[in-house]
């Protein structure tokens, strides 16, 4: 490739992202310092109202991270030793780590090849009298197939908890992520579509009693200071994070649409190559009735690791989500799983590659990415 055409395309450009809203962010930070309220307080309350409204949920409860949000969700249902929670092995560690932290057992169901999300067809066989919840992930920004999952959960009277960490603003048949299950967990990790300047998380629910319990659980289980009804966590959301997130929330729709536009542009650009028909590259599938918000744009490719190294040389940032499915992680060895147990997840772990899709990406950046991928397979 002509070296003069070489450019730098980061997987995520937080610098560009911040530049555009710097003044507003700085004002928000000053407001927090002036208030000297650094934990919870009015900024967090306002953010909770705004997130609840955005997700069409009745309640939102801030906490310290997306990982804690999942942990708190399970704790709200008193899930612990002897209980089973069904989820997939192809997700970020926290989904499964939270289950195991509480002494409960993760029961894995494989994913669908086209969407990387929970395969509802394989669920029924895993249900038994210890099953306490189903925990689907809306991976990469597209909702899991919630209708059959919810129908099954309802038939046996257990909750569906959404891991919506990557999916704020995603929709399933007109309904928003966060409104699809009994409880949902969101993350404000900086690389998420709504990212803070550090860790942060949020839960949404329509259940007033659960919301009230979660407010206690995130503050050491105390409804009244120093009087503890539960053994909870210290998982409060900082006011600084809330103030920053409130600024960014105003732009979230614009950014999500930019991600969707970038996905459409990739579709066009790749269609003009022979990469798809030659089976070198498979693009993400946006299922009908879904609003995919593309926290990641994950393609499935031939010779993944070599392509990744080549793109790095060309100045293009990519990432593997996730290189080792959770059933094969060292820390879960005592669960007794083996390679081959969840073949679709294992195949995804070996072939999936996230390429840049962030809102600041330009058409020229995308053209460069696609041309570089073409150049790799041409040699
Ligand atoms: C990011 C993420 C989490 C955890 O969120 P943190 O805020 O990083 O703790 C959980 N699940 C999924 C699917 C995630 O992507």
Q: Could you tell which of 136, 144, 166, 298 is best to mutate to test the pocket of ligand 1, judged by most ligand atoms within 8 Å of the CB?
A: 166
Ligand 1: centre distance to CA 2 (Å): 39
Sign of the Cα pseudo-torsion (246, 248, 253, 254, in order): positive
Ligand 1 pocket test, pick from 71, 72, 74, 94 with the greatest ligand atom count within 8 Å of Cβ, gives 94
CATH class held by domain 17-249: alpha beta
Question: Which residues on adjacent β-strands are paired with residue 203?
Answer: 61, 185
* Pocket of ligand 1 contains residue 199 by CB under 6 Å: yes
Q: Please tell me the residue having the least CA distance from ligand 1 atom 6.
A: 66
Ligand 1 and 241: CB distance under 6 A: no
Q: Are residues 93 and 71 in contact, defined by beta-carbon separation less than 8 angstroms?
A: no
Alpha helix positions (H), 36-92: 41-54, 66-76
Whose C-alpha lies nearest to ligand 1, atom 7?
66
Distance 277 CA to ligand 1 centre (A): 34
- Site to substitute for ligand 1 among 97, 135, 168, 189, most atoms within 8 A of C-beta: 189
Report pLDDT for 68. Answer: 98
- Report whether residue 91 contacts ligand 1, using a CB cutoff of 6 Å: yes
Under DSSP, the state recorded for 102 is T
In the numeric block, which tokens belong to residue 240?
């600084």
Say which residues have a Cβ less than 8 Å from residue 201's Cβ, sequence separation at least 6. Answer: 62, 63, 64, 65, 66, 67, 68, 69, 165, 185, 186, 187, 188, 235, 237
For a pocket test of ligand 1, which of 64, 67, 162 has the largest count of ligand atoms closer than 8 A to its C-beta? 67
Q: Does the C-beta of 83 come closer than 6 Å to ligand 1?
A: no
Q: Block means of pLDDT (10 residues each) for the chain, length 379 residues?
A: 70 88 96 94 97 98 98 98 98 97 98 98 96 98 98 98 98 97 98 97 98 98 95 97 98 98 98 97 97 98 98 98 98 96 98 97 97 95
Ligand 1 midpoint to CA 296 (Å): 13
**By the 8 A CB rule, do 106 and 99 touch?**
yes
Long-range contacts of 230-234 (CB under 8 A, 24+ apart): 230/75, 232/75, 233/64, 233/68, 233/71, 233/72, 233/75, 234/64
- Could you tell me the distance, in angstroms and rounded to a whole number, from the CA of residue 128 to the centre of ligand 1? 28
Which pair of structure tokens corresponds to residue 232?
């909870």
Same fold, 17-249 and 252-378: no
Q: Burial of 133 by CB count in 10 Å (0-12 exposed, 13-18 middle, 19+ buried)?
A: buried
Determine the distance separating the centroid of ligand 1 and the alpha carbon of 45, expressed in angstroms.
22
| Model pLDDT for residues 110-126, shown as the tens digit of each residue | 999 999 999 999 999 99
CATH number of this structure's domain 252-378, picked from the four choices 3.30.572.10, 3.40.50.620, 3.90.1150.10, 6.10.140.120: 3.90.1150.10
Closest atom, ligand 1, to C-alpha of 192: 1
Structure token pair of residue 81: 């030793």
Q: What are phi and psi of 62, to 5 degrees?
A: -75, 150
Q: How far is the CA of 162 from the centre of ligand 1 (A)?
A: 12
**Which pLDDT does position 5 carry in this prediction?**
67
- Domain coordinates of the chain in residue numbers? 17-249, 252-378
User: What is the rounded distance in angstroms from the CA atom of residue 43 to the CA atom of residue 280?
Assistant: 48
Q: Which atom of ligand 1 is nearest to the CA of 200?
A: 7
Question: From the CA of 119, how far away is ligand 1's center (Å)?
Answer: 20
Residue 87 CB less than 6 A away from ligand 1: no
The Cα–Cα gap between 130 and 173 comes to: 31
Q: Give the number of the atom of ligand 1 that is nearest the alpha carbon of residue 65.
A: 7
Question: 92 CB under 6 A from ligand 1?
Answer: yes
């Amino acid at each position: 490739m002509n070296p003069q055409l070489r450019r730098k395309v980061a997987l995520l450009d937080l610098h560009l992202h911040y530049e555009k809203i710097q003044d507003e962010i700085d004002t928000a930070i000053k407001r927090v310092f002036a208030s000297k309220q650094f934990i919870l307080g009015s900024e967090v309350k306002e953010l909770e109202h705004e997130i609840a409204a955005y997700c069409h949920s009745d309640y939102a409860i801030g906490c310290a991270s997306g990982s804690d949000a999942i942990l708190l969700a399970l704790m709200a249902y008193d899930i612990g030793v002897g209980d089973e929670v069904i989820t997939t092995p192809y997700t970020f560690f926290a989904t499964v780590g939270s289950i195991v932290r509480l002494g409960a057992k993760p029961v894995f169901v494989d994913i669908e090849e086209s969407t990387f999300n929970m395969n509802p067809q394989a669920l029924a066989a895993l249900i038994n009298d210890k099953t306490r919840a189903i925990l689907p992930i809306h991976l990469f920004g597209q909702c899991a197939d919630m209708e059959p999952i919810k129908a099954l959960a309802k038939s046996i009277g257990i909750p569906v908890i959404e891991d919506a960490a990557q999916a704020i603003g995603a929709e399933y048949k007109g309904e928003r992520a966060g409104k699809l299950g009994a409880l949902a967990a969101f993350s404000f990790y900086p690389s998420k579509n709504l990212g803070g300047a550090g860790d942060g998380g949020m839960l949404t629910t329509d259940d007033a009693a659960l919301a009230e319990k979660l407010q206690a659980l995130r503050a050491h289980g105390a409804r009244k200071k120093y009087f503890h009804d539960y053994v909870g966590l210290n998982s409060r959301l900082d006011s600084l994070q809330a103030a920053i997130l409130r600024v960014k929330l105003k732009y979230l729709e614009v950014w999500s649409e930019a991600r969707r536009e970038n996905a459409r542009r990739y579709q066009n650009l790749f269609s003009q190559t022979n990469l798809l028909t030659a089976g070198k590259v498979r693009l993400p599938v946006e299922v009908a009735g879904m609003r995919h918000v593309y926290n990641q744009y994950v393609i499935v490719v031939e010779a993944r690791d070599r392509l990744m190294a080549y793109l790095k040389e060309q100045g293009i940032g990519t990432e593997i989500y996730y290189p080792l499915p959770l059933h094969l992680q060292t820390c879960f060895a005592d669960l007794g799983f083996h390679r081959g147990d969840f073949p679709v997840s294992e195949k995804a772990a070996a072939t999936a590659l996230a390429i840049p899709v962030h809102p600041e990406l330009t058409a020229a950046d995308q053209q460069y990415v696609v041309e570089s991928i073409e150049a790799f397979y041409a040699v």
